[in-house]
Amino acid sequence: MKILHSVRSVQKLTSQIRSEGKVIGFVPTMGYLHEGHLSLMRTARKKCNYLFVSIFVNPTQFGPNEDFSKYPRDFRRDRLLCEKEKVDFIFFPDSEKMYPENYSTYVEVHNITEILEGSHRPRHFRGVATIVLKLFNIIQPDFAVFGQKDAQQVAVIRKMVSDLNVNTKIIVNPTVREEDGLAMSSRNVYLNGKQRKDASVLYKALKYAERKILTPGYNRDLGFIKEQMGKLIKSRPTVTGVDYISFNREDNLQEVTSLKNFKKGRLLISLAVRFGKIRLIDNIVVSVNL
């Protein structure tokens, strides 16, 4: 496994690999790796000749009051984990190389970035789309693997790839969870004991909604279900706020307010909840066929 820092050296290498007709797989991450990240690497490993992982805490996707400087980092540990997963190359650039002083180009994906996460983190997806396109241009992957954990991110990247004719296939892996259902996240290390215990309520609330929606005879009113989910979540003492609980079409993220208008299709149920300063997101997708 090799660690690469320079954009030019990666571009040279990947142009060479592509000219030999070999397949490049790519997993972009911000590091502090956990089983969720490793599952993406395992999926990618099976489908490519050369597996690239990037580790870069991308400053442009953090808001001014967010945790960029405190975001957990441990490159030595990440490197060992990548080695175990038989990663061929880690791209580990410096921030100054990705965003030099005169940097001024950003990718904006309209209509699906203003809602959900976007309404609470206004420039987040501009930063995400920009860094992902930059990484695609540097690594030139045949495919890239993302996690369902960040469902809106997946929708935004898919839209960008389609709108800008990017020649990279997008693959999505299921969310990897702890035993009690909490979605794995690098940010989970911020949780204290009580918060960690309470955080399992997010998945419980999502599964509650799924049950209600799928079981005939249950109350399928989405407003009612949302209210009940909110009550369940707020019953945990360390919860300090619910930013949103939302029902949306999985493909274009259009809000679904009633199942009367959505009898068949993939329904994304997503939420964002604060435990003090720690903000966690989670989602599930329900196949509706009424």
**Would you tell me which residues interact with ligand AMP (CB under 6 A)?**
29-30, 36-37, 39-40, 146-147, 149-150, 173, 175-176, 183-186
Q: Are 55 and 29 in contact (CB under 8 A)?
A: yes
In whole angstroms, how close is the CB of 147 to ligand AMP at the nearest point? 2
In whole angstroms, how close is the CB of 190 to ligand AMP at the nearest point? 13
Q: Is the Cα torsion angle 28, 2, 186, 130 positive or negative in sign?
A: negative
**Residue located via tokens 């999502």:** 206
Q: What is the distance between the alpha carbons of residues 260 and 65, in angstroms, rounded to a whole number?
A: 40
In whole angstroms, how close is the CB of 180 to ligand AMP at the nearest point? 13
Question: How many other CB atoms sit within 10 Å of the CB of residue 197?
Answer: 15
In whole angstroms, how close is the CB of 173 to ligand AMP at the nearest point? 6
Closer residue to ligand AMP, CB minimum distance, 174 or 237 = 174
Closer residue to ligand AMP, CB minimum distance, 52 or 146 = 146
In whole angstroms, how close is the CB of 27 to ligand AMP at the nearest point? 7
- Count of alpha carbons within 13 angstroms of residue 57, beta-carbon side: 17
Active site residue 37: yes
Closer residue to ligand AMP, CB minimum distance, 155 or 229 = 155
Which residue among 5, 34, 37, 110 is the active-site one?
Answer: 37
DSSP bridge pairs for 53? 27, 90
Residue nearest to ligand AMP (CB): 147
In whole angstroms, how close is the CB of 254 to ligand AMP at the nearest point? 21
Query: Is 64 buried (19+), middle (13-18) or exposed (0-12) by CB count in 10 A?
Result: exposed
Q: Are 39 and 176 in contact (CB under 8 A)?
A: yes
Closest-CA residue to 206 (of 166, 246, 242): 246
Q: What is the distance between the alpha carbons of residues 112 and 273, in angstroms, rounded to a whole number?
A: 20
Closer residue to ligand AMP, CB minimum distance, 168 or 185 = 185
Q: Are 267 and 261 in contact (CB under 8 A)?
A: no
- Count of alpha carbons within 13 angstroms of residue 139, beta-carbon side: 31
Closer residue to ligand AMP, CB minimum distance, 37 or 196 = 37
Please report, as a single letter, which amino acid is at residue 58: N
Closer residue to ligand AMP, CB minimum distance, 175 or 248 = 175
Active site residues: 37
